[in-house]
Amino acid sequence: MTTDDAGGDARETAPVVHDLAPDCTIDDVDEDEPYLATVNGVVDYGVFVDLSEHVSGLVHESNLAGEYAVGDELVVELEDVREDGDLSFAQVDVDDYSVDAVDHEYDFAAAADLPDALGETVHLAGEVVQIRQTGGPTVFNVQCVADDANAGVVPCAAFAGAGVRAYPEIELGDPVRVTGRVEERDGAVQVEADEFVVLDGDAAADLKQRLDATVQRQAEPADVDTLVEWDALEKLLPDLRDLARELRRTVLESRPIRIRHHADGDGMCAAVPVELALREFIAEVHEDPDAPRHLLKRSPSKAPFYDMEDATRDLNFALEDRDRHGQKLPMLLMLDNGSTEEDTPAYRNLAHYDIPIAVVDHHHPDPDAVGPLLSAHVNPYLHDEDYRVTTGMLCVELARMLRPDLSDDLQHVPAVAGLSDRSQGEAMPDYLDLAGDAGYDDESLEDVSEALDYLAYRLRYDPGRGLVNDALNVGCDDEARHRELVEFLAGQSREAVDRQLDVALPHVDREELANGAALYRIDVENHAHRFTYPAPGKTTAAVHDAMLEEHGGPAITVGFGPDFAVLRSDGVRLDIPEMVEQLQDELPGSGVSGGGHLVVGSIKYVRGKREAVLDALVEKMADAEIDEELGSSVVGDD
């Protein structure tokens, strides 16, 4: 290109010759446009040329300006496309030209379109989010994006030999282009890949930008109104929305989610709706019907914190799944648990592997201890509210943000959660009315709560998926079975509690505290059935209820054993986490630990310090503030 000496606008521009990328097809070739070609064969009647790996044809001798050998370059234009698909070109006479690189314009398919494209060859663009080696092909799960469609994860199978890793150069997180045929395997859509290409440069940057924008849009939670109007709940909605966004993004990025929840009624009311919502969203995003089973696991925690045994087991399983199935390491979601300093050793262990941790809880938190270790922390105490906003209430709203179509199926669950933890929050009457609209009176709700407590004990460390869903009537497909199951389980629970009370009540000691509260003590180690239902926490709660019914409140009940004590109260403001801290300072060597709410909790200590700990505990109870608005909360097997 030249410019005149006077600096004017007159210019002479060299002609532009297009250079096709190797993956370009005839669809990228325009008539009457010059293209750079390479001779791949010489015959008597002309030369054969390649414009790309997929565009080749003949330049007839009548259209040649000279003689050429294999490997020589020349400029050609498309002359004809014959009925059999053969191409003919004519040489273009240009001496001085500039080169314009032409990339193939792919028509990328969206994941949601694949079921309607069986048998067709498609192109996919996305990020590799899992690599799984089977006894046959290598299966690459690719998070795909196409135009304005939602992102989805598609299994793409490539075969290099039975059990042989195909495309060993491809790694997790690589941006790729896949070309292959859409097939159905075992009832699932799968792409049989003919070609995998790792993208780089502008193509990779463009894909990342489009994928990030799509995932960000798709990760937005649903904007739903809360089931009831409650100022205390409104304060926590921004935190819940942030967590819902993080969970949806985690699913979209094909990272597994591990749910850990307290093994009691409120914990189940929290975990089951969230699990169901996540399972449905995973099934929507992933073409593999087994994805919900592989990417989502729920486990109860018997301890009122995330102990190292559970954390070590979870981490070991996660590392095995990564090595065996090519999965990413999971996100941990703690429900009705996980807010205290006792959780931090387990969290720090997971931090070695950069495992994100989120918590929804209503136990009194230690934000300075756990906050730096969490990606999200939803807790009413962080907004000057308290345990009466139960975790189950919060998680029903979280589940609705994930899957608003579940609202009708969940409207009875907050009432069950509130009754399980005996919440006296001001919204409880509204939740009970809402459950009434769904066909549950107060007695049937109490039965569901009792059934969940019984299942929590009998299942131990098993999540009881299916059985728990049927008892809670979430994701249950048989209403009659739900009612019959709850009636049976609640009956079994009450019979066991009555038997326990028969042996325990004669051994309850009563005394009057200086603040006017009655204190009831029961040695559950020696005066209650052991190693059977109900456990010490439930036994203490039953004794507490019996004493309240007979004598009224305010009252505190302590069920104690050799190295533990369980506390329940009505009308007495026990700041149990604060009491634990004081006991730790006042009684060195006692091994005091524990926590809970303002009116319920559990404490551990070493056996030799039992009397000293209990005596100091009673002194603090005698100084506690009387508050008739506070009620007790039953927390399963604390």
- Give mean pLDDT, residues 391-407: 97
Six token digits for residue 176: 């790729």
The domain defined by 4-102 folds into: OB fold (Dihydrolipoamide Acetyltransferase, E2P) (2.40.50)
- Give mean pLDDT, residues 164-184: 95
- Give mean pLDDT, residues 494-500: 97
Q: How confident is the model at residue 1 (pLDDT cuts 50, 70, 90)?
A: very low
Q: What is the pLDDT of residue 40?
A: 96
Architecture of domain 111-218: Beta Barrel (2.40)
CA distances from 422 to 93, 266, 497, 630 (A): 89, 10, 18, 10
Q: How confident is the model at residue 187 (pLDDT cuts 50, 70, 90)?
A: confident
Q: What is the pLDDT of residue 117?
A: 93
Bridge partners for 157 per DSSP: 139, 192
Q: How far apart are CA 204 and CA 194, in angstroms?
A: 20
Q: For residue 304, is pLDDT > 90?
A: no
User: DSSP characters for 305-326?
Assistant: S--HHHHHHHHHHHHHHHHHH-
Q: How confident is the model at residue 115 (pLDDT cuts 50, 70, 90)?
A: very high
Number of Cβ atoms within 10 Å of the Cβ of 628: 10
Instruction: Provide the Cα torsion 498, 502, 507, 509; round to 10°.
Output: 50
Q: What is the CATH number of domain 231-485?
A: 3.90.1640.30
Q: For residue 238, is pLDDT > 60?
A: yes
Q: What is the pLDDT of residue 6?
A: 42
Q: How far apart are CA 114 and CA 178, in angstroms?
A: 13
Q: What is the pLDDT of residue 356?
A: 97
User: DSSP characters for 166-214?
Assistant: SSTT--TT-EEEEEEEEEEETTEEEEEEEEEEE--HHHHHHHHHHHHHH
Q: How confident is the model at residue 4 (pLDDT cuts 50, 70, 90)?
A: very low
Q: What is the pLDDT of residue 11?
A: 44
Q: What is the pLDDT of residue 575?
A: 83
Sign of CA dihedral 374, 378, 379, 385: positive
Tokens 């850990």, located at residue: 260
Q: How confident is the model at residue 638 (pLDDT cuts 50, 70, 90)?
A: very low
CA distances from 596 to 254, 424, 633 (A): 35, 16, 10
Q: How confident is the model at residue 54 (pLDDT cuts 50, 70, 90)?
A: confident
Q: For residue 7, is pLDDT > 90?
A: no
Question: Which stretch of 218-227, 458-467, 480-489 has the lowest confidence by average pLDDT?
Answer: 458-467
Burial pattern 288-310, b for ≥16 Cβ within 10 A else e, equals: beebbebbbbbbbbbbbbbeeeb
- Give mean pLDDT, residues 97-111: 89
Helices 442-459, 413-420: crossing angle, 10 deg rounding: 70
Residue ranges per domain, the chain?
4-102, 111-218, 231-485, 508-626
Q: How confident is the model at residue 24 (pLDDT cuts 50, 70, 90)?
A: confident
Residue 338 · residue 261 · CB < 8 Å: no
Q: How confident is the model at residue 629 (pLDDT cuts 50, 70, 90)?
A: low
The average confidence (pLDDT) of the chain is 92
Q: How far apart are CA 18 and CA 5, in angstroms?
A: 30
Q: What percent of the chain has pLDDT over 90?
A: 80
Q: What is the pLDDT of residue 631?
A: 53
Q: Do the domains spanning 4-102 and 231-485 agree at the CATH topology level?
A: no
User: DSSP characters for 76-95?
Assistant: EEEEEE-TTS-EEEEE---S
Number of Cβ atoms within 10 Å of the Cβ of 537: 25
Options 3.90.45.10, 3.40.630.40, 3.30.420.40, 3.10.310.30; which CATH number does 508-626 get? 3.10.310.30
Q: How far apart are CA 477 and CA 411, in angstroms?
A: 16
pLDDT in tens, 316-352: 999 999 988 888 999 999 999 999 988 999 999 999 9
